[in-house]
């Protein structure tokens, strides 16, 4: 059969595959997370941060239970690693808190670029904690990513200041979160993990939120509460769906699309454009992260 007769069917077959669905879901994930950061930056000007943080995890716990309990039943609640699930929930709660507070002071695009250093840091932590072998190329790419961050946060730049403590803590806790997620991935149902993440965050935040409770803000700005809760939950559900259809090494490079979406939203909603050196730093971070993911993909493709 002539090549021209079969070539149109190849892309069509691909777009009907599980891997194509996974790519679509990962793009939706990055769009949801970039939108979450933008909505958070707006919402924190209208309502107490602690209330928004509490509602974001309450929404995730309730929606996950409503969607998955009819399907999984009590299996949704069963976990062989309750301590690890608790620790994972605490780590993500700290990560979210740093994001919610940090976005009050930092531009969305630059903040997201710094956060995307997390996979590189997670690689280093995996070498230490999980005893994974890390080739020299990965260490060099980690150094490249750090150089990119230094270009973004340089003294005299647009984002230099005390608020940089938030992305610094966030990168550390989220890297640990990723290592722990990797540790649990073969033992836990992903929806169970998703439910417990929301539950742990809700339980911890319940007594804390009382210190800044504002009923008037909740009633006046409840759509923003719902939007923040929805985007966080939707993004993580899309991420779960993507990883159930394709391996992480294939999908990880696409996560860096979040930087582009976040920078675009910063321009559209806050009229902020990074300066020249910040653009260079963002590009360097993205190159380091994508390079790290491509090395993983190449290792994944090798026969055992």
What are the CA-CA distances from residue 75 to residues 14, 70, 78, 79, 181 (Å)?
34, 10, 5, 8, 19
Measured between alpha carbons, how far is 18 from 245 in angstroms, rounded to an integer?
A: 6
Give SS3 for 221: coil
The candidate with the shortest Cα–Cα distance to 138, out of 285, 292, 252, is 292
Measured between alpha carbons, how far is 269 from 254 in angstroms, rounded to an integer?
A: 24
What digits encode the pLDDT tens for the residues 80-117? 888 988 998 999 999 999 999 988 888 887 787 778 77
Residue 160 predicted with pLDDT over 90: no
Give the torsion sign (CA, 181, 187, 189, 193).
negative
Chain position carrying tokens 């080739």: 135
Measured between alpha carbons, how far is 40 from 51 in angstroms, rounded to an integer?
A: 12
Residue 187 predicted with pLDDT over 80: no
Decide if 252 contacts 293 (C-beta within 8 A).
Answer: yes
Residue 133 predicted with pLDDT over 90: no
Measured between alpha carbons, how far is 110 from 116 in angstroms, rounded to an integer?
A: 10
DSSP states along 62-93: HHHHHHHHHHHGGGGG--S-HHHHHHHHHHHH
- CA–centroid distance for 200 within its chain: 18
What digits encode the pLDDT tens for the residues 41-84? 999 999 999 999 999 999 999 999 999 999 999 999 998 888 98
Give me the pLDDT at residue 132, please. Answer: 60
Chain position carrying tokens 């993507």: 242
Give me the pLDDT at residue 11, please. Answer: 54
**Which DSSP helix (H) or strand (E) runs through 126?**
helix 118-129
Give me the pLDDT at residue 197, please. Answer: 92
Per-residue pLDDT, averaged over 187-207, amounts to 91
Measured between alpha carbons, how far is 137 from 134 in angstroms, rounded to an integer?
A: 8
What are the CA-CA distances from residue 73 to residues 159, 177, 199 (Å)?
48, 27, 17
Chain position carrying tokens 């993205």: 286
Q: List all residues 6 or more positions away from 4 whose beta carbon is below 8 Å from its beta carbon.
A: none
Q: Is the model more confident about 170 or about 188?
A: 170
Give me the pLDDT at residue 300, please. Answer: 55
Per-residue pLDDT, averaged over 175-203, amounts to 84
Give me the pLDDT at residue 4, please. Answer: 43
State the pLDDT confidence band at 304, using cuts at 50, 70 and 90. Answer: very low
What digits encode the pLDDT tens for the residues 219-270? 999 999 999 999 999 988 888 888 777 766 667 667 777 777 787 887 878 7
Give me the pLDDT at residue 8, please. Answer: 46
pLDDT over 90, % of the chain: 33
State the pLDDT confidence band at 5, using cuts at 50, 70 and 90. Answer: very low
Q: Whole-number mean pLDDT of the chain?
A: 80
pLDDT over 70, % of the chain: 76
Residue 12 predicted with pLDDT over 60: no
pTM of the model: 0.78
Give me the pLDDT at residue 219, please. Answer: 95
Measured between alpha carbons, how far is 290 from 253 in angstroms, rounded to an integer?
A: 5
Give me the pLDDT at residue 153, please. Answer: 61
């Amino acid at each position: 059969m002539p090549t021209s007769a079969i070539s149109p069917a190849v892309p069509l077959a691909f777009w009907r595959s599980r891997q194509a669905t996974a790519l679509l879901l990962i793009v939706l994930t990055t769009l949801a997370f970039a939108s979450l950061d933008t909505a958070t930056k707006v919402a924190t000007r209208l309502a107490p941060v602690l209330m928004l943080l509490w509602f974001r995890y309450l929404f995730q716990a309730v929606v996950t239970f409503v969607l998955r309990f009819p399907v999984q039943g009590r299996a949704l609640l069963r976990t062989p690693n309750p301590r690890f699930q608790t620790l994972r929930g605490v780590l993500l709660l700290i990560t979210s808190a740093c994001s919610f507070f940090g976005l009050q002071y930092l531009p969305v695009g630059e903040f997201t670029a710094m956060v995307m250093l997390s996979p590189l840091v997670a690689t280093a932590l995996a070498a230490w904690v999980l005893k994974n072998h890390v080739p020299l190329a990965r260490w060099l790419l980690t150094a490249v990513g750090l150089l990119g961050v230094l270009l973004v946060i340089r003294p005299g730049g647009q984002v230099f200041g005390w608020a940089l403590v938030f992305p610094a803590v966030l990168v550390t806790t989220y890297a640990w979160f990723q290592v722990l997620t990797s540790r649990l991935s073969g033992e836990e149902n992903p929806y169970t993990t998703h439910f417990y993440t929301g539950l742990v965050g809700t339980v911890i935040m319940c007594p804390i939120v009382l210190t800044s409770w504002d009923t008037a803000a909740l009633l006046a700005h409840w759509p923003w509460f719902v939007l923040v809760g929805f985007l966080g939950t939707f993004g993580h559900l899309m991420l779960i769906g993507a990883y159930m259809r394709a391996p992480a090494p294939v999908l990880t490079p696409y996560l860096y699309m979040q930087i582009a979406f976040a920078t675009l939203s910063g321009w559209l909603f806050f009229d902020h454009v990074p300066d020249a050196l910040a653009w260079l730093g963002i590009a360097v971070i993205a190159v380091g992260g994508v390079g790290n993911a491509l090395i993983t993909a190449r290792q994944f493709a090798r026969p055992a």
